[in-house]
């Protein structure tokens, strides 16, 4: 399995996590709704902003994304910045938004979402 490139930095600005629900909620005729856990694990989606500090790193990342993980369809090993644990991850829906920073093509930022099993 591929490993997330070590030269890519995850920015804390804009970082967010969202856990999908593991519950089934049912309205009742009277009283509070009932809830039951129906999933043993859930997907956690993380909004990420990735920083690449050279044009060469940006081009290498795009090549890795395109070839090694099949345009984001395949899973890869990624170190969760919150827990520090290595998890299997993938890019949600395969999309990347890239833009150069500071008016130069030397620094790049990529916005996307990464999902893991929580």
Model pLDDT, residue 95: 82
Angle value at C-alpha 23, between 17 and 24, nearest 5 degrees: 140
Tokens 């995850």, residue?
A: 10
pLDDT in tens, 56-112: 999 999 999 999 999 999 999 999 999 999 999 999 987 899 999 877 888 999 999
Two tokens, residue 66: 């395109």
Quote the mean pLDDT of the chain. Answer: 91
What are the chain's domains?
A: 2-19+40-117 (3.30.70)
Ordered alpha helix ranges (H), 1-118 = 55-63
**Whole-model pTM?**
0.83
């Amino acid at each position: 399995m591929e490993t997330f490139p070590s030269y890519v930095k995850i920015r804390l600005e804009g970082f967010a996590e969202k856990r999908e629900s593991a519950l089934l909620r049912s309205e009742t005729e009277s009283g509070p709704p009932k809830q039951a856990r129906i999933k043993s694990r859930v997907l956690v989606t993380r909004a990420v902003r990735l920083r690449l500090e050279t044009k060469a790193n940006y081009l290498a990342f795009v090549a890795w994304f395109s070839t090694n993980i099949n345009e984001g369809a395949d899973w890869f090993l990624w170190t969760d910045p919150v827990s520090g644990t290595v998890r299997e991850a993938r890019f949600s829906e395969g999309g990347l938004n890239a833009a150069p920073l500071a008016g130069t093509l030397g620094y790049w930022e990529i916005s996307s979402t990464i999902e893991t099993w929580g």
